[in-house]
């Protein structure tokens, strides 16, 4: 079973589009901020999936809302991320991570 399906089964209230965007949020960080490659990237994605599955709806909802409303706030006409600066991107990423890790 792929990551999207695992998260969707753990949190059926999320749409597939929301699940994909949440996974993409972590994937972008893993590649762009942490510079992870192949094996380490795969392990990071697995750990993130496990973390999402372990969260309750109450704990996960603020994170998902932030990612959808603010992390992806700079999306162009064709759905491509538009960045003003690397600092802006990293700030939004770290804020989302903080919400995820402190939500109970």
Structure tokens at 18: 């929301």
Angle between helices 3-10 and 38-54 (to 10 degrees): 10
Mark out the alpha helices in the chain (DSSP H runs). Answer: 3-10, 16-28, 38-54, 57-66, 86-102
* Sequence spans of domains, the chain: 3-102
Among the listed residues 91, 100, 85, 4, the one whose alpha carbon sits nearest the alpha carbon of residue 49: 4
Per-residue pLDDT of the chain (104 residues; tens, 9 = 90+): 698 999 999 999 999 999 999 998 888 888 888 888 888 888 999 999 999 999 999 999 999 999 988 887 765 555 555 656 778 778 888 899 999 999 87
The whole-number pLDDT of residue 75 equals 58
Q: What pLDDT is stored for residue 77 in this prediction?
A: 55
pLDDT given for residue 51 in this prediction: 94
Q: Please tell me the predicted confidence (pLDDT) of residue 5.
A: 92
pLDDT of residue 97: 92
């Amino acid at each position: 079973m792929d990551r999207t399906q695992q998260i969707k089964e753990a949190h059926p209230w999320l749409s597939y589009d929301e699940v994909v965007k949440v996974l993409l949020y972590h994937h972008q960080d893993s590649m762009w901020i942490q510079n992870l490659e192949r094996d380490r990237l795969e392990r990071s994605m697995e750990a993130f999936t496990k973390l999402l599955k372990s969260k309750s709806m109450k704990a996960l909802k603020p994170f998902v809302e932030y990612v959808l409303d603010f992390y992806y706030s700079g999306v162009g006409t064709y759905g491509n991320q538009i960045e003003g600066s690397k600092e802006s991107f990293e700030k939004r990423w770290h804020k989302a991570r903080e919400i995820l890790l402190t939500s109970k």
